[in-house]
Amino acid sequence: MAVKNLLKKERVEFILQRLEELYPETPVPLDHKDPYTLLVAVLLSAQCTDERVNQVTPALWQLADNPRDMAKVPVEKIKEVIRPCGLSPQKSKAISKLSQILVNEYHGKVPENMAALETLPGVGHKTASVVMSQAFGHPAFPVDTHIHRLAQRWGLTSGKNVAQTEKDLKRLFPRDKWNKLHLQIIFYGREYCSARGCDGTVCEICTTCYPNRKNPKKTKKA
């Protein structure tokens, strides 16, 4: 008897269960000690690995680990320290400017508000979502390129863009699972379903959800 591909509801249930078995604990991959250091670390992680960011931030925190001190550090000095993360001219300006804004407009505190976060220099929707979920514990589903790719491979979204993928995932998964699940998917993508390591026909979740899939699953870029 032919094995059938799982229905969407079955895929959602299997993914939730398997990821919980594999990753019962989900430590935040970026080293930080408070909302400000997390915000800066996430900003630095754009087009850069978390490992590299974690190598760079200790030297940055020695310069300044809070908005008041960072606002006084010359942009050139910040740029020098964060150069290994790439895009250092833009990122150093953003870190300096957002630190000044936090001091001048938010009493030196990171706002616990999505819309306010998104107005800060260098802070897009994904960065704001990470801070809201991981620093403040509000339900959010930050979608990066890895989550975007896996959601398509697992048939959870049409994958037109990351905004659509985020909407689709929020609709499919319980709100109280979002913060943990977004990290579980990232961990699984790195370990088993990477861009080159799996094409939709290799890893356990892909083959369980789609046992009849014969050809690689082409994914649309974010």
Residues with a catalytic annotation lie at 126, 144
Amino acid of residue 58: P
Cα R_g (the chain), whole angstroms: 19
Please, which residues have CB within 8 angstroms of residue 189's CB and are 6 or more apart in sequence? 146, 147, 149, 150
C-alpha span between 104 and 40 (Å, rounded): 17
Instruction: Tell which residue, 112, 108, 76, 106, has the closest CA to residue 93.
Output: 76
- Distances 22 to 18, 60, 83 between C-alpha atoms, Å: 6, 33, 35
Residue listed under structure tokens 């150069």: 83
